[in-house]
Amino acid sequence: MTRRDPDSEPTPVELPEPPSFRLDGRRALVAGASSGIGLGCAVALAAAGAQVTLAARTLSRLEDLAQSFCERGWRAEALTWMSPTSAPRQRPWRRRVPSKF
């Protein structure tokens, strides 16, 4: 790997344009949707028209996010995500998942 001379001008990098697509009538389940990359993905999917199910461990945060999505005119719902080690407690969670998943 070669190092760039710190005194030289940075080489311009051309970034690709994000795809232009619509997801109207589609559903998306986003795990880890309460922050970071998961939240970014949820926003992109909702902005593209998908009904987004926001899943993570903290329901109160997800409910606030779902409300924010709805205030923008996007369709979203909150879902508590449980770890695989909590399998005996997952049955009530599974009942909350929409039947289309």
- Judge residue 55's burial from the number of C-beta atoms within 10 Å of its C-beta, 0-12 exposed, 13-18 middle, 19 or more buried: buried
Read off the pTM: 0.66
Q: Which helix (H) or strand (E) holds 64?
A: helix 59-71
**DSSP category for residue 14:** P
Write phi, then psi, for 28 (nearest 5 degrees). Answer: -135, 135
pLDDT attached to residue 20 = 81
CATH superfamily of 27-82: NAD(P)-binding Rossmann-like Domain (3.40.50.720)
| Domain ranges within the chain, ordered by starting residue | 27-82
Contact 80, 53 (CB under 8 A): no
* pLDDT tens for each residue of 58-101: 888 899 999 999 999 999 999 986 655 655 555 554 545 555 54
